[in-house]
């Protein structure tokens, strides 16, 4: 079982010094290219990072490996959103309706920022083992975060008295549904985002 999404990468980053800085510059340039155009090439990444195509392949190995590393970093940020927005402390402070609306808004904003990265990565998912491993590893991490939140919320009497693993799977499906073109670009007060937050609330609320 994976306890953290940190460093869930297809290959280890080089340690320290110039090599680490070069690696980080290449990954940053890959992410910038994806965010700007929805695609990238070794030549464009090299130009953006001030390196060369040969350096791209020396450090990242292949385009699929580079995409997997960028996707892993993007999914790390999704884990951060989940950990920040879904905590029992916030549940007790804000109440379930507001918590769910804030979570839906934060998730929608995250997917909007990462929409082109996701589009490129998911398109390559069937043909790339590295991408599948990154996706599944982070999915397990998010599932565990959800399950723990649901266990604690149920113990506090604030969430449904349901089997946490099944409810965590349902919440995972709903969250992935927020990565939808109809949601991308909408603000936190948009009626659709508010409605989606209410959907999460109805899923988690105690039953009479």
Q: How confident is the model at residue 184 (pLDDT cuts 50, 70, 90)?
A: confident
C-alpha distances out from residue 189 to 21, 114, 123, Å? 40, 20, 30
pLDDT of residue 89: 96
% of the chain beyond a pLDDT of 70: 93
On average, the pLDDT of the chain sits at 90
| 51-61 average pLDDT score | 94
**173, 102: one domain:** yes
% of the chain beyond a pLDDT of 90: 85
pLDDT of 104-116, one tens digit each?
999 999 999 999 9
| 85-97 average pLDDT score | 96
pLDDT of residue 4: 41
CATH of the domain at 27: 1.10.10
Of 2-6, 104-108, 163-167, least confident by mean pLDDT is 2-6
From 61, 77, 103, the end of a domain falls on: 61
The alpha helices in 86-163, defined as continuous H runs, are 88-94, 96-113, 115-124, 129-155
**182, 120: one domain:** yes
CATH of the domain at 111: 1.10.357.10
Q: How many domains does the chain have?
A: 2
pLDDT of residue 206: 94
Q: Is-contact 59 26, C-beta < 8 A?
A: yes
From 61, 78, 98, the end of a domain falls on: 61
Residue 7: is its pLDDT beyond 50?
no
**107, 177: one domain:** yes
Q: How confident is the model at residue 17 (pLDDT cuts 50, 70, 90)?
A: confident
Range of the domain at 90: 63-204
**120, 108: one domain:** yes
In a domain, 4, yes or no: no
Taking the C-alpha atoms of residue 105 and residue 195, their distance in angstroms, rounded to an integer, is 10
In a domain, 121, yes or no: yes
Q: How confident is the model at residue 12 (pLDDT cuts 50, 70, 90)?
A: low
Taking the C-alpha atoms of residue 143 and residue 111, their distance in angstroms, rounded to an integer, is 18
**125, 152: one domain:** yes
pTM: 0.87
**25, 81: one domain:** no
**126, 168: one domain:** yes
Q: How confident is the model at residue 13 (pLDDT cuts 50, 70, 90)?
A: low
Residue 75: is its pLDDT beyond 90?
yes
pLDDT of residue 11: 52
**131, 83: one domain:** yes
**200, 110: one domain:** yes
* 3-state secondary structure string across 131-150: HHHHHHHHHHHHHHHHHHHH
């Amino acid at each position: 079982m994976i306890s953290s999404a940190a460093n869930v990468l297809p290959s280890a980053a080089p340690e320290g010094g110039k090599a680490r800085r070069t690696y980080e510059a290449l990954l940053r340039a890959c992410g910038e290219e994806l965010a700007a155009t929805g695609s990238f090439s070794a030549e464009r990444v090299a130009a953006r990072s001030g390196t060369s195509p040969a350096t791209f392949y020396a450090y990242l190995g292949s385009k699929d490996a580079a995409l997997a590393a960028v996707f892993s970093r993007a999914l790390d940020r999704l884990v951060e959103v989940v950990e920040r927005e879904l905590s029992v402390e916030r549940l007790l402070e804000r109440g379930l309706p507001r918590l769910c609306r804030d979570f839906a808004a934060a998730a929608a904003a995250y997917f909007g920022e990462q929409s082109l990265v996701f589009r490129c990565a998911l398109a390559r998912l069937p043909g790339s083992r590295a991408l599948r491993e990154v996706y599944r590893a982070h999915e397990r991490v998010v599932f565990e975060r959800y399950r723990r939140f649901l266990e604690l919320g149920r113990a506090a009497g604030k969430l449904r008295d349901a089997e946490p693993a099944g409810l965590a799977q349902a919440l995972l499906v709903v969250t992935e549904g927020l990565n939808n073109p109809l949601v991308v670009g909408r603000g936190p007060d948009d009626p659709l985002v508010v409605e989606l937050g209410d959907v999460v609330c109805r899923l988690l609320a105690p039953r009479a």
